[in-house]
């Protein structure tokens, strides 16, 4: 397990753990760089959408991005990753989880942190269409948990086309992250996500009235409550703890068999730093895992530079690492 000494230079104008986390969503300007969106029919006759940039070419890396909870094609960090790939002449795709493309999916389900069936479907379809594909994958937050879980599940059976991967601000232990967000300013983040999560659940109940407990879904104020009322029962788990236990990527990372960069900040408000120590212990036995844990950065934050010319370290760092090149000239 190589542990990388980070040269991240935290922006002086974003002190603490919350401002870096909020800035990337509320303050940042990031133009969209994808050129089209395709809707793909899934094996269970549902749909998901792919925001695509460029054309896949032989001998040129292709980047697949998985976004975080309630991410969309407008997620600035996702567009930032596509832009970094574009700067290198790569093509790239952003996989939009079911219901995250502004159109509610048709099936009796949504998406969740442990569901790896869709990323497996997308990867294998890409390889089928492009047998010589050189695929590099990055997952952010929830998408990072899905990515790492899938890589670990596949282990040595992973398609050879997948050459390397990265996970950014991954909530490795979902139960610990859920409880952590019940403290301090965590409920403010939770309330933000609950607006759209609850709306989707209620829309699903209009179509499938027996899907879950409507009253419990409406009452839910924490992730633990919502996942116990909606995510768990809708997707075949007995309760929130069962969902968290079976879906947390921390139990799968020891089986990853491709070079994978894990970049997290100790001050991530979505996860207690003690979880990163557990990841360190597990990663010691796996030479494929490359850890870059910073003291600052927040959740999908890592802003550098000045207020009038900010830079987004994690996006530059991840794509440069996936390309096998240094981030900064020495």
For this structure, is 299 an active site residue?
yes
Token match 């407008």: residue?
74
3-state secondary structure of 144: helix
Report pLDDT digits (tens) over 173-206: 999 999 999 999 999 999 999 999 999 999 999 9
> Where do runs of H (alpha helix) occur along 47-181?
76-87, 117-129, 142-154, 174-180
Q: How far apart are CA 269 and CA 265, in angstroms?
A: 9
Q: Residue 328 above 70 pLDDT? A: no
- What is the model's pTM? 0.96
Q: What is the pLDDT of residue 25?
A: 85
For this structure, is 141 an active site residue?
yes
Q: What is the pLDDT of residue 327?
A: 57
**Do 77 and 194 share a domain, yes or no?**
no
Q: Residue 322 above 60 pLDDT? A: yes
**Do 43 and 141 share a domain, yes or no?**
yes
Q: Residue 329 above 50 pLDDT? A: no
Task: Exactly one of 6, 91, 113, 141 is catalytic; name it.
Answer: 141
Region at 302 (left for phi over 0; alpha for psi -120 to 50; beta for the rest): left
Mean of pLDDT over the chain? 96
Q: What range does the domain containing 242 cover?
A: 175-247
Report pLDDT digits (tens) over 59-114: 999 999 999 999 999 999 999 999 999 999 999 999 999 999 989 999 999 999 99
- Count: domains in the chain: 2
Q: What is the pLDDT of residue 326?
A: 62
Domain boundary among 247, 269, 294: 247
Task: Indicate which CATH number applies to the domain containing 83.
Answer: 3.40.50.1820
Domain assignment of residue 287, yes or no: yes
For this structure, is 274 an active site residue?
no
**Do 107 and 24 share a domain, yes or no?**
yes
The CA-atom distances, in angstroms, between 147 and each of 101, 229, 252 are 19, 25, 10
Q: How far apart are CA 288 and CA 308, in angstroms?
A: 38
Q: Residue 241 above 60 pLDDT? A: yes
Task: Exactly one of 10, 18, 180, 299 is catalytic; name it.
Answer: 299
């Amino acid at each position: 397990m190589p542990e990388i000494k980070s040269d991240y230079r935290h922006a002086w104008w974003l002190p603490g753990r919350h401002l870096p986390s909020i800035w990337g969503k509320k303050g940042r300007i990031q133009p969209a760089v994808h050129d089209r969106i395709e809707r793909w029919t899934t094996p269970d006759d549902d749909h998901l959408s792919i925001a695509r940039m460029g054309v896949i070419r032989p001998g040129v890396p292709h980047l697949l991005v998985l976004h975080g909870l309630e991410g969309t094609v407008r997620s600035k960090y996702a567009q930032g990753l596509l832009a970094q790939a574009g700067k290198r002449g790569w093509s790239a795709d952003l996989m939009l989880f079911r219901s995250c493309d502004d159109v509610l999916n048709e099936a009796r389900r949504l998406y969740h942190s442990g569901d790896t069936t869709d990323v497996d479907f997308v990867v294998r379809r890409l390889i089928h269409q492009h047998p010589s594909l050189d695929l590099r994958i990055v997952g952010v937050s929830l998408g990072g948990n899905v990515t790492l879980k899938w890589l670990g599940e596949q282990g040595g059976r992973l398609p050879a086309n997948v050459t390397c991967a990265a996970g950014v601000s991954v909530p490795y232990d979902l139960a610990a992250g859920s409880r952590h967000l019940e403290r301090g300013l965590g409920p403010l983040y939770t309330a933000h996500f609950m607006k759209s999560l609850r709306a989707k659940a209620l829309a699903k109940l209009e179509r499938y009235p027996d899907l879950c407990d409507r009253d419990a879904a409406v009452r839910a104020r924490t992730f633990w409550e919502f996942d116990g009322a909606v995510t768990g029962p809708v997707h075949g788990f007995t309760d929130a703890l069962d969902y968290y236990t079976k879906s947390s990527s921390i139990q799968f990372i020891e089986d990853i068999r491709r070079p994978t960069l894990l970049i997290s900040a100790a001050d991530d408000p979505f996860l207690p730093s003690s979880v990163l120590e557990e990841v360190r212990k597990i990663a010691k036995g796996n030479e494929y895992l490359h850890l870059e844990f910073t003291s600052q950065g927040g959740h999908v934050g890592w802003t550098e530079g000045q207020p009038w010319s900010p830079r987004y370290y994690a996006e530059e760092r991840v794509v440069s690492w996936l390309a096998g090149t240094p981030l900064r000239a020495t």
